[in-house]
Chain A
Amino acid sequence: MRGMGISHKVNTMGECLMPTRQDTANDELLIQRFEAALLNLDRLAAADLLSQEIKQEPMQVVERIIVPALESIGRAWEDGRLALSQIYMGGRICEELVDSLFPAAKEAHRQQPKMALAVLDDYHLLGKRMVYATIRSGGYALDDYGRMEAAALAQRAGEAGVEVLFISALMLASALRVRQVRNELERMGCHVKIMVGGAPFRLDERLWQEVGADAMGRNASDALPQISKWIGAQP
């Protein structure tokens, strides 16, 4: 993987941006208000909150406000406090806002690994769409391969030089085919990090390891810290 570490504390000029206690309190309030705007599907309020921060480095805003809000929403879904429709719409709004308010954020991770995502054997595409919106909201670029069968997915990812592959599966039979993707990639000599997600993986917490994945997301926002972790682990 050719990624590089992401710093939360240094801007593009190399200046130290260590937050003060007041900054942290302000951020927490901002995150709460932003999260509330997302859950109320209030695009205008969400955009207003981000607009106030528009003079900052785009990635600072993404990482200080958008990513924590999405992670908080994801945790609330896992706990049963929020519903999937709220996460979906929140992710879509964030994706639109990042695209419109912070076009520079789209290029911010130009040192990132090459990433793609797909749904296996299935026309239930919502999970994949949510992961796509979340990752894009985090300022990363990735290719959406849509619905694919296992062998074709491995072939395409391998030939494209994908380094991180996200796979969504709704049905158990589809989830089990991740093993085929892994085997095929290995046969091609491709060392790809695979992160899986979807109901079968949540209901059987050992399944992701059984099928040869490197990580499992319990909700869409789990993708963001995992990407950071993989990028940070590179020499």
Chain B
Amino acid sequence: MNELHEQTSMQRVLQALQHREADRVPFFLLVTMHGARELGLSIQDYFSRAEHVVEGQLRMRAKYRHDCLCPFFYASIEVEAWGGEVIYVEDGPPNSGQPIISRAEEIMYLEPPDVKTTPCLKKVLSATQQLKAQVGDEVPIIGVVMSPFSLPVMQMGFERYLELMLERPELFERLMQINEEFCVAWANAQLKAGATAICYFDPVSSSTIIPREHYLRTGFEVAKRTIARINGPTATHFASGRCGPILADVGLTGTAVVGVSAEENLASRKSVCRGKVSLLGNLNGIAMRRWTPKQAEQEVKNALAQAGAGGGFILSDNHGEIPFQVPEDVLMSLSEAVHTWGRYPLHWIQNER
């Protein structure tokens, strides 16, 4: 695509997802907490009202010119909805507290929360509605769900969950049924509120956590069932986990986009899914904290050179959430780099080889 006019973010992203080159590579800067600093609020205060998140998201996009809005609050909001504790810290995302399931047998009596009446989820839906009212169809709004398969890490703790998966198959299946109902309802409520697509966070399915054969028996089947019932496009994200061994399988779950870890080579992943599934990634959000602006530019160029050609790629971080500690000059440099070097066609790549 070589149109002279600048596309809207929505047009740019849709074209990329059709595996075609848009005016430039789309850029998802998932700054979920930096809006608090922009508004002069603590992270806890920031997430206390939907209006703060709306204002924070709009200001971040005005500043960094990225191609999405993300009314995601924090991952532990889902376990908060189930009655769990959320622990705030001053310099990072709120974390989940004591697991809500202390004994596996409690799964038999577990009831999912109502997404329409649970206060913390209503805030997210309100933020989504407000953002949609502001940007209409010009900017994709990305809703977020934890996958039914990964939510149990917060519901019952990782160790107990691994043991449940491996040793208590009947209770595992029961938990998946309950979580799938919640996940589908939560995703569809966000789509109804104005989200364009849903990011399906599924770190436990990553090959960093479980082997492929285990994934095919568990997380893969859960994802297929769940994504089929979500009324909109999905992107599957492994939150820094590796996806290489399962990349072709993930494409069969019905998802449109896959997040790539910073520990993986984008070019080799692109070669597996070119024309089939788009890639999102894979700037190292943790290391980004100490990058210089010059290094940030070089990292962007590296990612574009590996995966930008031919569309099917959205530049983003590898985790789905930029750490609060990443300085603004680095974020600005990322933005400037993708606006400079991400413009199609990417002829400069040939010149640098």
Measured CB to CB, the residues of A under 8 A from B are: 41, 80, 82-86, 88-89, 121-126, 129, 171-174, 176, 199-200, 202-204, 206-207
Among B80-104, those with CB < 8 Å from A are 87, 89, 91-93, 95-99
Q: How far is the CA of A89 from the CA of B214 in the complex (A)?
A: 14
A123:B290 contact, CB within 8 angstroms: no
Q: In whole angstroms, how far apart are the Cα atoms of A173 and B33 in the complex? A: 13
Cβ–Cβ contact B286 & A200, under 8 A: yes
- Interface-central residue, A122, A123, A126, by most chain B CB under 10 Å: A123
Contacts of A121 in B (CB 8 A): 87, 89, 95
Question: 18 A-B residue contacts at CB 8 Å?
Answer: A41-B166, A83-B210, A85-B166, A85-B210, A85-B214, A86-B211, A89-B166, A125-B159, A172-B286, A172-B289, A173-B91, A174-B92, A199-B286, A203-B262, A203-B285, A204-B284, A204-B286, A204-B287
B162→A80 contact, CB < 8 A: no
**Chain B residue at minimum C-beta to C-beta distance from A126:** B158
Nearest 4 pairs of A and B residues by beta carbon: A173-B92, A126-B158, A203-B286, A83-B211
Chain A residues contacting B286 (CB-CB under 8 Å) are 172, 199-200, 203-204, 207
Interface bits B166-183 vs A (CB < 8 Å: 1, else 0): 100000000000000000
Q: Please give me the residue from chain B that is nearest to A86 by CB atom.
A: B211
Within 8 A of A (CB), among B198-247: 207-211, 214, 240, 242, 244-245
Apart from A173-B91, A204-B286, list 10 A-B contacts with CB within 8 A: A41-B166, A80-B242, A83-B211, A84-B209, A85-B209, A88-B159, A89-B166, A125-B158, A172-B323, A199-B286
> Is B325 touching A83 in the complex (CB atoms < 8 A)?
no
Contact of A89 among B157, B162, B262, B289 (CB under 8 A): B162
Contact with A along B102-122 (1 / 0, CB 8 A): 000000000000000000000
Q: Is the CB of A123 within 8 A of B166?
A: no
Q: In angstroms, how far is the closest chain B Cβ from the Cβ of A40?
A: 11
Question: A80-B263, A83-B208 given as contacts; is B92 within 8 A of A172 (CB)?
Answer: yes
Known: A41-B166, A125-B158. A83 touches B262 (CB 8 A): no
Q: Is the CB of B262 within 8 A of A123?
A: no
Number of chain B residues close to chain A: CB under 8 A: 38
Is B186's beta carbon under 8 Å from chain A? no
Of A84, A86, A88, A123, which one neighbours B98 at CB under 8 angstroms? Answer: A123
B46 beta carbon closer than 8 Å to chain A: no
B153 within 8 A of A: yes
Known: A126-B159, A173-B324, A204-B286. A83 touches B95 (CB 8 A): no
Known pairs A80-B207, A85-B211, A124-B153; A203 contacts B284 (CB<8 A):
yes
Give the complex CA separation of A85 and B285 in angstroms: 24
The A interface, classified by DSSP as helix, strand, loop or mixed, is helix
Residues of B within 8 A of A41 (CB): 166
Inter-chain residue pair count (beta carbon < 8 A): 86
Q: When chains A and B are docked, how far (Å) is the Cα of A200 from the Cα of B158?
A: 18
The 8 Å CB contact of B162, one of A88, A122, A204, is: A88
Task: Please determine whether B92 and A171 come into contact, CB atoms closer than 8 angstroms.
Answer: yes
Indicate if the CB atoms of A126 and B162 lie closer than 8 Å. yes
Please give, as numbers and ranges, the residues of chain A lying within 8 Å of B211 by CB-CB distance.
Answer: 82-83, 85-86
Find out whether the CB atom of B157 lies under 8 angstroms from the CB atom of A125: yes
Query: Cβ of A84 and Cβ of B325 under 8 Å apart?
Result: no
Closest to B209 in A: A84
Query: Cβ of B210: which chain A residues have Cβ within 8 Å of it?
Result: 83-85
Neighbouring A residues of B165 by C-beta, 8 Å: 85
Q: Which residues of A lie under 8 Å from residue B158 when comparing CB positions?
A: 124-126
| CB-defined contacts of A123 to chain B, threshold 8 Å | 95-99, 157
